[in-house]
Structure 1
Amino acid sequence: MAAPPQLKAIHHHLRTAQEHEARDPVVAYYCRLYAMQTGMKIDSKSPECRKFLVKLMDQLEIMKKELSDHESISQEVVGNAHIENYALKMFLYADSEDRSGRFHKNMIKSFYTASLLFDVLSVFGELTDENIQHRKYAKWKAAYIHNCLKSGETPQAGPIGMEGEAYDDEFGAEGGGPSQPPQGPPHSQPSFHGNQPSASNFSNIQIPPGSHAPANTPADIPPPEAPPVKPVPVPRAMPVIDPSLLNNTQEGEVRFTPEDFTRAQKYCKYAGSALQYEDVGTAVQNLQKALKLLTTGKE
């Protein structure tokens, strides 16, 4: 069931859904839900778009019944956590490969698919600033590395300063794309300005069995195998834990909401995911955020 040309913006989300039909039907369901909601906003009046969207709704209803036993479908909070965790796992896998200087098609696809899944999180509400940054960075990295490999150049590993740069040509288009990274020192959390690269067709990138690319669930993504010669990691500044957080005695005076506990759980989950890839800096940052929230009631 191909989407009409008017709905080009959701083509890749639908492709991601198709790819996860067997691997993770929950991911497939929410990708289609996002595609349906976005498609309705783009064009729900033209006959071909309306016909396509009605079929997509019917498909979603069937999937919802088939997956009714999954808490990720029956409870939005659980579904949100499932998609967010899957996207973060893909992002961390690709980021780990990137920082280690291992550039390949499956890593590019992991970056790009992660960016699409961060899009999908909008079905549960507004994205957090952190997820917005992850989405922009993943999209930009996928485009940058793709175009470098295509032109025979060696990409620059790790975060790259992107201030004032615009990358708006068709990702994967012939004869285009950023061949050189923006000049400037690496940043642990790059800021983003200008247009982000648009999507390209990833249909020619296959994920073979046993590769590092995500398989059945986010938890199945294996840590990158160590190469014969261990690459020198990109130096990262180690966050310093604020001693005042450890000595705070206001616990009894702070009143927490259910949302506070949910946010604290998210930070702990992010830290656990980062540790799976030996990313100590990110783990410490998220644990520090959780500690601050649980001792002061503020982020």
Structure 2
Amino acid sequence: MNFSNVPKELSHLNVFLRCASDHSAKNPTITYYCLLHAFQKGLSMTQKSPPIKAFLTTLMDKLEELKRNNSNCEEIANETVGIPYVEQYALKLFDAAYQRDINSDFGPATVKLFLSAATLLDVVSGVGEVGDDVSYHLLIR
């Protein structure tokens, strides 16, 4: 998944797009919700230049493609099931990163795990009410 044509005004979405790309081969649910979050944040911008509109259209097309290709995936079809899935996945990543950290593994893989967990917690917190676990992890981050 390549998002090299992100308009400068949407560069703040790169973290979500990168997370979507990182998970595209193995977890379409995570990819879908990262792209959905990026799309919603981009859509909320008041000024939408033609490049921004074109990029958001590309994102929307990708979301529709993911939904179509994973029509049997309850987590993608139903947000009520999908958001808790993303939350649990984020907490698993956070716990894995934390275990590496307490074992003095401070390498790039640990940093990437923490970053992915934080990004997914942002995705979950952008949807609405979050669980106590997510609130705690957002607070300590």
Question: How many angstroms apart in 1 are the aligned matches of 2:47 and 2:57?
Answer: 9
TM-score (norm 1): 0.44
Q: CA deviation at 1:76?
A: 1.6
Distance 1:109 1:41, change over 3 A: same
Q: Does 1:64 align with 2:67?
A: yes
| Matched-pair identity in % | 38
Aligned partner of 1:82 among 74, 82, 85? 85
| Structure-2-length-normalised TM-score | 0.89
RMSD of equivalent CA atoms: 1.7
The alignment status of 1:103 with 2:138, answered yes or no, reads no
**Does residue 137 of the first structure (1) align with residue 124 of the second (2)?**
no
1:15 aligns with 2:18: yes
Query: Which protein is bigger by CA-based radius of gyration?
Result: 1
Q: Tell me, which stretches of 5 or more residues in structure 2 are unaligned?
A: none
Of structures 1 and 2, the one scoring higher in RCO (CA 8 A, sep 6+) is 2
Q: 1:94 aligns with which of 97, 100, 105?
A: 97
Contiguous gaps of at least 5 residues in structure 1:
139-299
Q: Structure 1 stretches (4+) deviating beyond 6 angstroms?
A: none
Partner of 1:226: none
Distance apart, 1:36 and its partner CA: 0.1
Alignment-mate amino acid for residue 93 of structure 1? A
Per-residue Cα deviation, 1:268-299 (whole angstroms, up to 9, x for no partner): xxxxxxxxxxxxxxxxxxxxxxxxxxxxxxxx
Whole-angstrom CA distance in 1 between matches of 2:11 and 2:139: 19
CA 136–23 in structure 1, closer or farther in 2 if over 3 Å, else same = farther
Alignment partners' CA distance in 1, 2:88 and 2:131: 14
Q: Select the residue among 52, 64, 73 that pairs with 2:76.
A: 73
In the TM superposition, residue 101 of structure 1 has moved relative to its aligned partner by 1.9
